[in-house]
Structures are given as C-alpha cells and as structure tokens.
Chains A and B, each alone.
Chain A
C-alpha cells in the first residue's frame, strides 16, 4: 500500500537509491498503489517507477500470500522500458501479467 510520501527502495541499477512516491497513476484520487502499479516518484528528478515489492502482502488466487520485507520499485521511462540494466531481489510473477515482462526477464529470481 504505497501512497504519496512513501519512501521506496530502488531495485535496479538506474542510479537512484531511494524514491519518494508523489502520485499514483491509473485513476484520479487513487489512494494506494500495490505491486505492479506505476507511480510517479522523485529523487532529485521526477521519474516513473513500477512497484515490485511491498510490505503489504500480495494475495494469489491459490491462497498463497507473499510479503516482502521492504517496499521497492524499478524506475522506468515513458515507454515502459526499465531505466536500469539489472534488477536486484526477487520479483513476483504478477508483473508478467501486467505487461512488465521486461522487468521479469531481468530479474534474478521470480517468485
């Protein structure tokens, strides 16, 4: 559940270490963002990012629940390509259904 003012780790080697969420994209007045949502975030520059890990658990239809220890995002550009070249940490496979297969293909571990 990421909202504006949330600080997130950066899970790639794009240069930034921490981002602060400014806005959640997708609908006006949207309150929270979860894994797979695109946010506008700021670290000296305003960039877009995809949330890849949250401390709030992610539920699957099979009943499995995945909960990470940190909130993390991957910086992307306007076209949706990741700005960094390598991703760190585990990535849930839900990102593939949300058309972020590029991030999944760069991930060291897909849960």
Chain B
C-alpha cells in the first residue's frame, strides 16, 4: 500500500548557529517538523518487517499465560471465558495495543508471534539499514587507505600543508577531507589530474567536482573530498577552523613545508 509523503518544514530563522558546534552525524534538527507517513499496517507481511520490541521471558508483555482462542481472536473484545489456561508464551492484548497501536490482534499475528518466538527466542530490534560496527570500521579503513594514497600523490607534486581530517563524526555525507595548498594554477591542475588518474587506475573511482583549476579546487570522491587551495583562499575560507572538531590524521610522510612567501 502506498504511503503518503511526509512533509518537513524547516524554520531557518533560528539559524545563526555557531559553526564550531559539534554536529550530529544524522541529519536531525530541533526545528524539524516531521509528520509520519500515514500508512496503516494492514498486511502481516509488512508487519513482520517492522518493529518488534525487546522481550524476555519474564517481561510483563508475556506475563499472563493466556492464549487467545481461535474463534474469538478475530473480534476485538475478548472475554475471560475465551482464554484457555496454557503455559505457553502468549501475548496480552493490552500490552499488544501499547506496542502496536495500529495493528489489530488477529489470528494471523498470533500465529506469527508464535512462529517467531519459537524460531528466535528472545527478539531484540535491529534496524536493517544499520551496518554492523565491524563492517563500518572496515569501510573506514579502506577509505583511509585511499585518502592516504591521494595525500601522498599530492605531496609528490609538492603541495604543501596537507591535512587529512576524519569528519565522519561531524558530517554524514562524507568520511574524509584532504586539504592541500598549491601555489599556482598549473600546479593545481597537476595535482588534480594526478589524483584523478590514481583514483581511476588503482581504485576505479571517479571524482565529480572542478575539472578546471580554480582558486579553490574541489574533487569529490563520495566519501573522500579533496580541497586544493591557493594560499590566500586557504586563509580566507579557513576550513580547518570550521572543522576543528574533526580528528587530524597523521600522514606518514614529510609534508610540512612552509609557505613560499
């Protein structure tokens, strides 16, 4: 069943924010007005994929040893007479309504719960979209090696003051920033083309961003963003100050050349 779209209205009048505040990695904001899609859960297939609360054998959710008899399960009002005494894991109707306000207790859900409990025992909610911590760390490590390789290429072309920032805790749309300074447009061109070539040949990744050299040249590899500045622009935009909360990663090569004045 199709869901209606959710509308978000954002009030921007409060946004004279301090740019140095620590950002959350998820795009939430106190001025978000988020209305949930008005889907009603009618099919049990949809229901199966949705939230199941953490239950233990001792929880109140399963405290009462009652089983809904099949005949009365289809209607909403349950009388005491309908309950048979069984020592099986069962669901109390009141608590069910608390946890699943949109769903009506029916024969299907009852059986579904039985099957699930038999299969899994204790059930704890785990979102499908969340990657496991190990997978995330692996990806971060891969990304880091890619970023370090790019930074090395930049230093080979004599870019100066190369900084590698881990910005994943601050922004959600990327993982690493590489900030470098070049001293002339041909040098920027050279750095840009060498970085693109390396990424293309060794890692198979293409960059969007500036193709022509610019006083602030940006190469966007998705989870790694490369900023190449001319010295006055670097001082003007001062990205390191803006991302001061990001962790700086030490690069394993000598790149702290002083600016030519």
Give the B-binding residues of A (Cβ under 8 A): 53, 57, 59, 63-70, 72, 79-81, 85-86, 88-90, 93, 96, 99, 101-102, 104-106, 108-111
**B225 contacts A by Cβ under 8 Å:** yes
Check A69 against B10 for contact (C-beta < 8 Å).
Answer: yes
Comparing B70-78, B149-157, B212-220, the segment that makes contact with chain A is B212-220
Instruction: Please list the 10 inter-chain residue pairs (A to B) with the smallest Cβ-Cβ separation, ordered nearest first.
Output: A89-B15, A89-B12, A63-B5, A69-B11, A101-B220, A108-B17, A81-B216, A79-B214, A68-B10, A65-B5
C-alpha gap A92/B5 in the complex (Å): 17
**How far, in Å, is A11 (CB) from chain B's closest CB?**
8
Check B17 against A64 for contact (C-beta < 8 Å).
Answer: no
**Best-surrounded residue of A81, A96, A105, A108 (most CB of chain B within 10 A):** A105
**B83 contacts A by Cβ under 8 Å:** no
**B238 contacts A by Cβ under 8 Å:** yes
C-alpha gap A25/B27 in the complex (Å): 30
Check B13 against A101 for contact (C-beta < 8 Å).
Answer: no
**How far, in Å, is A52 (CB) from chain B's closest CB?**
10
Considering only residues 1-26 of chain B, those with a C-beta below 8 Å from chain A are 3, 5-13, 15-17, 19, 21, 23
Check B218 against A64 for contact (C-beta < 8 Å).
Answer: no
Interface residues on B, range: 35 or more
Chain A residue with Cβ nearest B15: A89
Task: Name 8 A/B residue pairs within 8 A (Cβ), A-sorted.
Answer: A67-B8, A70-B12, A70-B13, A79-B214, A90-B29, A93-B173, A104-B173, A109-B23
| Dominant secondary structure at the B interface | loop
Check A86 against B19 for contact (C-beta < 8 Å).
Answer: yes
Chain B residue with Cβ nearest A53: B12
Chain B residue with Cβ nearest A58: B8
Contacts of B29 in A (CB 8 A): 90, 109, 111
Considering only residues 164-190 of chain B, those with a C-beta below 8 Å from chain A are 171-173, 177
Check A64 against B8 for contact (C-beta < 8 Å).
Answer: yes
Contacts of B8 in A (CB 8 A): 64-67, 111
C-alpha gap A88/B209 in the complex (Å): 22
Question: Residue B225 contacts which of A66, A67, A101, A110 (CB distance < 8 angstroms)?
Answer: A101
Contacts of A69 in B (CB 8 A): 9-13
Question: Residue A111 contacts which of B6, B27, B238 (CB distance < 8 angstroms)?
Answer: B27
Chain A residue with Cβ nearest B222: A96
Contacts of B214 in A (CB 8 A): 79-81
**B259 contacts A by Cβ under 8 Å:** no
Considering only residues 74-108 of chain B, those with a C-beta below 8 Å from chain A are none
**How far, in Å, is B39 (CB) from chain A's closest CB?**
11
C-alpha gap A59/B225 in the complex (Å): 26
Contacts of A99 in B (CB 8 A): 208-210
Check A90 against B215 for contact (C-beta < 8 Å).
Answer: no
**B117 contacts A by Cβ under 8 Å:** no
- Provided the pairs A70-B12, A105-B227 are in contact, do residues A86 and B242 lie with their beta carbons within 8 angstroms? yes
Chain B residue with Cβ nearest A66: B8
Check B12 against A90 for contact (C-beta < 8 Å).
Answer: yes
**B237 contacts A by Cβ under 8 Å:** yes
**Best-surrounded residue of A64, A96, A108 (most CB of chain B within 10 A):** A108
Check B27 against A109 for contact (C-beta < 8 Å).
Answer: yes
C-alpha gap A85/B234 in the complex (Å): 11
18 extra interface residue pairs, beta carbon distance < 8 Å, beyond A106-B237, A110-B27? A57-B7, A65-B7, A66-B8, A66-B10, A70-B13, A79-B214, A80-B210, A88-B15, A88-B16, A90-B29, A96-B173, A99-B210, A102-B216, A104-B173, A106-B242, A108-B23, A109-B27, A111-B10
